[in-house]
Structure 1
Amino acid sequence: MHPSVECVGAAGEAWLASASEYPRSMRALWESRPWAPSVLPCGRAFDVISMPALFGRRVLDELWASGPGCGPVAVHRGRLLLFVQPGAAPRLRRLLAWEEWARDVPPLLCHGKGDAVTVPPLQRMVNSPDSPGQGAGRWIVAPERRDPRLPGAAVVLWACVRAAREPGAPVPPGRPS
């Protein structure tokens, strides 16, 4: 079972801010609105692989069962956001297209350089009337370190393939069952 941390620590906040062109401005925004989601660019500190939430949980279980786990993971609008090494998103996209694994794996959205993603609030405010960010996603594994362990494209690919081929895995659309 993987750890569950819902609040971002100071070191994790610094790492997230480092993705922005203006890290000090991001940190000032978060200081004034820790309950608000943010949009951060991919490609500098991290890339993000977005996948259907149910499949994503299976991938997470594979990453934790087969090795050292993974770094930050969030859920936003029914999708699991897996933070990966910068450059891993385009590489994973090419690996899935190049090999015949794409037919086993549900559609993944690979966000890399030039893309941006919405990240959950740094703090989760529960039952607070002045907390409009409650529906804005949440951290499953919040960043806690300045240098979180981010899996590369090959590690994510194999976790996806194992999760997709696991008995009882849902069949992706367009693939015969």
Structure 2
Amino acid sequence: MFAAVRGGSEGCGGRGGRGGRGGRGGDGTHGGGWGRGADEAHGACGRTAGPGAEPDRTAARVTAAGAEWLASASSYPRSTLALWSARPTAPVVLPCGSVFDVINVPAVFGRRMLSRLWADGPGSGPVAAHRGRMLMFAAPGTAHRLPALLGWVGDPPTKSGGEWGEAVPPLLCHGTGDAVTVPPLNPPSSAETDSSRWLVAPDVRHPWLPGTEVLLWACVQAGRSSVLVPG
């Protein structure tokens, strides 16, 4: 079962995992606690699988509501939506920090994180594959807090020389002042675009986003699993 890592006073930054009831942030996208029920946890971002399942690895399509959520991160949401309306297969660069942060991890380690999140945790928010890496959309503020917590939390510690610390690769955390390229709303059919696609596509106006504590736990579990099962 999912067990939160104790690394500080941060909540999960999202409507939480299984059991209980959690609050929402002022914008309706995230709040403290683990309070999502199982049905909501696996249905918020186009997730139809039950507990213990993993999201489909094929490219997913973003719904109109999901596109509105993504566009809300832009300084010109209407222009972004107009572009997508004309060219739904066009990738777009969006700023981080206000609507979402993005945790950018190597693809193999990202798959381990997703596996743990879906098997024993609350699931994931939107997730994209881009140029051999995985983009995990997270609650605003996560990009600032996660690296610091990864530097010391855990037993054994993640610091250099720890039992599994070296198995956690450096993460690229995109927050305020950063921008990321998001995949097209609809995956193009050409083979060369396979490097940029949605794995878990946003399909609601306010998708749940994991916060610092959830992703910290997933990093720790993925690091430990890579030590136990090399490669």
Counterpart position of 1:173: none
- Given the alignment, which residue of 91, 109, 130 partners 2:172? 109
Counterpart position of 1:174: none
- How far off its partner does 1:98 sit? 3.9
Counterparts of 2:136 and 2:180, CA distance in 1: 11
The number of equivalent residue pairs is 166
TM-score in terms of structure 1 length: 0.88
- Given the alignment, which residue of 215, 224, 229 partners 1:156? 215
> Does 1:34 pair with 2:103?
no
TM-score in terms of structure 2 length: 0.68
Counterparts of 2:159 and 2:193, CA distance in 1: 34
Q: Any conservation in 1 of the 2:132–2:195 contact (CA below 8 Å)?
A: no
Write the deviation string for residues 39-71 of structure 1: whole angstroms up to 9, x where unpaired.
000011100000000000000011111232011
Counterparts of 2:175 and 2:127, CA distance in 1: 16
Q: Any conservation in 2 of the 1:37–1:136 contact (CA below 8 Å)?
A: no
RMSD (Å) for aligned C-alpha atoms: 1.7
Provide structure 2 residue ranges, at least 5 long, that are not aligned to the other structure: 1-52
Which amino acid is 2:100 matched to?
F
Q: Choose between structure 1 and 2 for higher RCO, CA contacts under 8 A separated by at least 6 residues.
A: 1
Counterparts of 1:158 and 1:23, CA distance in 2: 33
Counterpart position of 1:168: 229
Counterparts of 1:96 and 1:68, CA distance in 2: 20
Counterpart position of 1:74: 128
Counterpart position of 1:175: none
- How far off its partner does 1:2 sit? 2.3
Q: Name the SS for the 1:106 alignment partner.
A: coil
- How far off its partner does 1:97 sit? 2.5
Q: Name the SS for the 1:118 alignment partner.
A: strand
Aligned-pair identity (%): 58
Provide structure 1 residue ranges, at least 5 long, that are not aligned to the other structure: 171-177
> Does 1:46 pair with 2:100?
yes
Write the deviation string for residues 22-47 of structure 1: whole angstroms up to 9, x where unpaired.
11010001111111111000011100
Counterpart position of 2:201: 142
Q: More deviation in 92-101 or 160-169? A: 92-101
